[in-house]
Amino acid sequence: MKETPLSNCEKRFLLKAIEERKRLDGRECYDYRNLRISFGSDYGCCIVELGKTRILGQVSCELVTPKPNRATEGILFFNLELSPMASPAFEPGRQPELLVKLNRLLERCLRNSKCIDTESLCVVAGEKVWQIRVDLHVLNHNGNLIDAASIAAIVALCHFRRPDVSVQGEEVTLYTPEERDPVPLSIHHMPICVSFAFFQQGTFLLVDPSEQEERVMDGLLVIAMNKHREICTIQSSGGIMLLKDQVLRCSKITGVKVAEITALIQKALENDQKVRKEGGKCGFAESVPNQRITAFKIEQAPVDTKDVQEQAEEIIAKAFPPSEVMATPVLWTSGTAQIGEGLENSWGDFEGSEREEEEDEIAQDEPITVEDQNLETGDASVRTRNQKDETIVLSDSEEEDVVILEPEVTNKNRTETSPKQDTISKKTGGKKKKKRATK
């Protein structure tokens, strides 16, 4: 996946902001982004964060045979990797031109400047020397990779400890960290790169350009310098011609920035060494800020209970006293009472309702005569005649009346069905009597 180019509108917007001395992240033209250094649990492992640009540095060592032309010097090797995780512009399995340029610049800045005493890495001349390998992994790319890479490389080298060795005749003994304390590298100075981006053929100048600013810049100037104001290397890229005054101006700015960064690196190394001596926890996990949800945490506030009794007495004194007049009870029926205003009590009607239910049961047990049957049939005929005139309304109560609609009965049918009804009444009357006798 290739890097998506900026549109013309975005380019004009960025260039217009630079002309007005404004940057997207709110910095001034000569300001650096925030620099943060954290160390791993092992020696020689660190992460450098320059703004959102993040690089992991790891130093390792091994005993190898020296080069024939430099039999008494150790070997210093640098390896920078650009993974697709850092930016979608980096393709796996390919070495872009940026990677080659960064590796060469690191070698000139750190190895050719003799910042590390390579002769101290010799164990046996012509046979055994230490090979120091510096691996740099770009975790996130947000501009100015060369400055972040140079800082990560020098910090990892300063933090690294190699195993101690002893030579007895031709025998070389390598000691573990438990047997002997590891030995730090001999470092003479700390060269650090500072990048300057130029716009509109050198008219405008920015320090520590971001990724978007690098896309619209016309040229780049990189100056590597130590805190003694000694220039280790200088490189200019892009099709611009710089004047002598511009280069001198950039070198003065570099001296100030390098002094600040060097002081920050030394302070970080001292703090890490102090923590390790005291036996404290160290590593990347300890350097990550501990972000926890504290929404359910309640801070205990102290409660003053000195004047609680006095305040309670004041509140009671100011309150309205209760009324001394009590309401007289109202006696509705025997065994009940009511105080105050409310609904009437219906408990007294309970005995009357029981009596009515007993009378209904007695009436149901009595025999049905022929006269009663005739009255019932007469009532049924009246109901059928008034069926058309009256409207039947069914209530919503649980006990609903069931109404049976019957057709009109003529007098002939009524006279014919009367003897049958008499026989039915006699039969039903006999059955009722038998039931009562059984009871």
Domain containing residue 106: 25-281
Please give the pLDDT value at position 288: 65
Higher pLDDT among residues 52 and 203, named by residue: 52
What letter does residue 292 receive in the DSSP assignment? -
List C-alpha distances in Å: 254 to 97, 194, 222, 262, 383. 26, 6, 9, 12, 117
Q: How confident is the model at residue 191 (pLDDT cuts 50, 70, 90)?
A: very high
Q: How confident is the model at residue 430 (pLDDT cuts 50, 70, 90)?
A: very low
Within a domain: residue 370?
no
List C-alpha distances in Å: 274 to 151, 279, 388. 21, 9, 109
Q: How confident is the model at residue 382 (pLDDT cuts 50, 70, 90)?
A: very low
Most confident by average pLDDT, 172-176, 427-431, 432-436: 172-176
Least confident of 22-31, 92-101, 145-154, 272-281: 92-101
202: left (phi over 0), alpha (psi -120 to 50) or beta: left
User: What's the whole-number average pLDDT of the chain?
Assistant: 77
Higher pLDDT among residues 396 and 191, named by residue: 191
Residue 292 tokens read as 């926890």
Q: What is the mean pLDDT of residues 6-20?
A: 84
CA–centroid distance for 350 within its chain = 69
Higher pLDDT among residues 15 and 338, named by residue: 15
Please give the pLDDT value at position 85: 85
How many CA atoms, within 13 angstroms, populate the side-chain half-sphere of residue 193? 30
Please give the pLDDT value at position 436: 43
Q: Which of 327, 330, 326, 310 is nearest to 318 (CA)?
A: 310
Please give the pLDDT value at position 88: 81
Please give the pLDDT value at position 358: 65
Q: Give the dihedral of Cα atoms 37, 130, 146, 252; nearest 10 deg.
A: 80
pLDDT tens per residue across span 70-79: 888 999 999 9
Looking at the predicted structure, is the pLDDT value of residue 95 above 50?
yes
Q: What is the mean pLDDT of residues 161-174?
A: 87
Within a domain: residue 29?
yes
Give the chain's end-to-end CA distance (angstroms, integer).
Answer: 103
pLDDT tens per residue across span 247-284: 999 999 999 999 999 999 999 999 999 888 888 777 77
Please give the pLDDT value at position 319: 76
Higher pLDDT among residues 6 and 119, named by residue: 119
Within a domain: residue 435?
no
**DSSP calls for 166-202:** EEETTEEEE--TTTS--EE--B----EEEEEEEETTT
Looking at the predicted structure, is the pLDDT value of residue 397 above 80?
no
Within a domain: residue 75?
yes
Looking at the predicted structure, is the pLDDT value of residue 348 above 80?
no
Higher pLDDT among residues 199 and 297, named by residue: 199
Within a domain: residue 249?
yes
Please give the pLDDT value at position 332: 61
Please give the pLDDT value at position 203: 83
Most confident by average pLDDT, 171-180, 200-209, 223-232: 223-232
Within a domain: residue 101?
yes
Q: Give the dihedral of Cα atoms 139, 143, 146, 152; nearest 10 deg.
A: -40
Q: Provide the CATH number for the domain around residue 179.
A: 3.30.230.70
131 φ, ψ (degrees, to nearest 5)? -105, 115
Looking at the predicted structure, is the pLDDT value of residue 398 above 70?
no
CB 219 within 8 A of CB 263: no
Q: What is the mean pLDDT of residues 114-123?
A: 90
Within a domain: residue 228?
yes
Q: What is the mean pLDDT of residues 138-142?
A: 92
Please give the pLDDT value at position 218: 87
Looking at the predicted structure, is the pLDDT value of residue 63 above 80?
yes
Q: What is the mean pLDDT of residues 302-320?
A: 78
pLDDT above 90 covers what percent of the chain? 30
Q: What is the mean pLDDT of residues 92-117?
A: 86
Looking at the predicted structure, is the pLDDT value of residue 142 above 70?
yes
Looking at the predicted structure, is the pLDDT value of residue 306 above 80?
no
Q: Output b/e per residue, 264-286; b: 16+ Cβ within 10 A.
A: ebeebbeebeeeeeeeeebeeee
Q: Which of 187, 185, 188 is nearest to 61 (CA)?
A: 185
Residue 121 CA to residue 7 CA, distance in Å, equals 52
CB 150 within 8 A of CB 35: no
Looking at the predicted structure, is the pLDDT value of residue 329 above 70?
no
Please give the pLDDT value at position 437: 42
Q: How many domains does the chain have?
A: 1
What letter does residue 439 receive in the DSSP assignment? -
Query: The pTM is what?
Result: 0.65
Q: What is the mean pLDDT of residues 113-136?
A: 91
Q: What is the mean pLDDT of residues 230-236?
A: 91
375-378-380 Cα angle (round to 5):
115
* 181 Cβ contact list (under 8 Å, min separation 6): 161, 164
Within a domain: residue 344?
no
